[in-house]
Amino acid sequence: MSFDIICFDCDSTLSAIEGIDELAERAGCGAEMAALTNAAMNGEVALEAVYAKRLDLIKPDREAIDRVADLYIEKMVQGVEEVFQQLHSQGKQVHIISGGLKQAILPLAEKLNVAADHVHAVEVLFASNGDYLEFNQQSPLARNGGKAEVCAQLNQAGLKLAIVGDGNTDMEAKQAGAYCIGFGGVVARDIVREQADVFVDSPDLQAVLEYLL
């Protein structure tokens, strides 16, 4: 099967970190945050029930976001650059769809030659001094079903679309007709293994290429 539009989650898929957990660690509430993130990614609680709570606890400033941006690149999953080179060379439309923070993901996207308007994530608003103000509460990606909404918007022409990710929120893209590839190379979740059209255990992201091309 060959897909025209290929979407990737970011955290625990393109990079081995969970950005929100790294921010929490820095803010001194790491254990509590990791538990919330895990519950949301395992489908145990609604994403919207934890999203605002997580950011209100952390209040990430611009400097903290820049640090996570560096970590995303530093902790890139094996094979990511090769996967993106291959997809670009074949003229595929490639997007990153993440419930993470857009400003932290953009440098990784740039490294992978993904245009900024192909990065769909939650924007953070800062004060003029760089302090955290709030996040874009209108973003569909701060709630369950958001990835399905974004996939539907991207695929109004009814092309073949696939999404690769590690979490329950990625599998929800099936609602928009996406072919869901579960990636367990960083975190293997039972709910994703059960719901994915295909599940990949390899720590190297290149293992997904045989299902995409």
Among residues of the chain, what percentage have pLDDT more than 70? 100
Question: What is the predicted pLDDT for the residue at 34?
Answer: 82
- Which residues are known to be catalytic? 9, 11
Q: What is the pLDDT of residues 61-113, one digit of tens each?
A: 999 999 999 999 999 999 999 999 999 999 999 999 999 999 999 999 999 99
pLDDT band at 47 (very low <50, low <70, confident <90, very high): confident
pTM for the whole thing?
A: 0.94
Taking every pair of Cα atoms in the chain, the longest distance, rounded to a whole number of angstroms, is 49
Residue 92: name the closest of 112, 77, 76, 64 by CA: 112
pLDDT at 50 over 90: no
Task: Return d(Cα 48, Cα 7) in angstroms, integer.
Answer: 22
Give tens-digit pLDDT for 16-42.
999 998 998 888 888 888 888 888 888
CATH assignment of 5-212, given 3.40.50.720, 3.40.50.620, 3.40.50.1000, 3.40.640.10? Answer: 3.40.50.1000
In this prediction, residue 65 carries a pLDDT of 97
* For residues 122-147, average pLDDT: 96
Cα–Cα distances in Å, from 163 out to 13, 45, 52, 86?
11, 22, 25, 16
Closest by CA position to 16, among listed 107, 83, 80, 103? 80
